[in-house]
């Protein structure tokens, strides 16, 4: 199964402040925004998201051609995803795995 790195989402406490900072970096183009909640920058053919949360952190996004197959394959290997594949409010179908150190990996 082919997996590709799609991007990284930073968990920030103030989306506007973070958006204003990243908008000044060369090569970042603001593509979408939900003020106060989320901002999405394009960097070449990858993505940098800014998501409002209580605690700073991040999660990575991995794209797979068969989301249900990836979900089943991970479970067969003893990795229990945090949730089942589902349609998200922003229009993507995803599920999340948590690594042993608590980092989030979002499959889409």
Which structure tokens are listed for 65? Answer: 């051609």
Give me the number of domains the chain comprises: 2
pTM of the model as a whole = 0.78
70 shares a domain with 32:
no
Range of the domain at 56: 1-63
Q: Decide if 5 contacts 62 (C-beta within 8 A).
A: yes
83 shares a domain with 54:
no
Q: Decide if 2 contacts 10 (C-beta within 8 A).
A: no
- Inform me whether the pLDDT recorded for 101 exceeds 90: no
83 shares a domain with 51:
no
Query: Mean pLDDT across the chain, nearest whole number?
Result: 92
Residue-wise pLDDT for 31-75, tens only, equals: 999 999 999 999 999 999 999 999 888 899 999 999 999 999 999
Which percentage of the chain shows pLDDT scores above 70?
98
55 shares a domain with 6:
yes
Residue the block writes with tokens 């979002």 = 106
């Amino acid at each position: 199964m082919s997996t590709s790195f799609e991007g990284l989402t930073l968990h920030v406490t103030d989306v506007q402040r973070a958006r204003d900072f990243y908008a000044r970096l060369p090569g970042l183009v603001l593509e979408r925004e939900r003020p106060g909640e989320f901002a999405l920058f394009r960097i070449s053919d990858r993505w940098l998201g800014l998501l409002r949360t209580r605690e700073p952190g991040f999660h990575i996004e991995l794209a797979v051609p068969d989301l249900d197959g990836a979900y089943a394959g991970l479970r067969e290997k003893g990795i229990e995803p945090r949730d089942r594949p589902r349609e998200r409010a922003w229009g993507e179908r995803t599920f999340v795995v948590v690594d042993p150190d608590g980092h989030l990996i979002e499959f889409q």
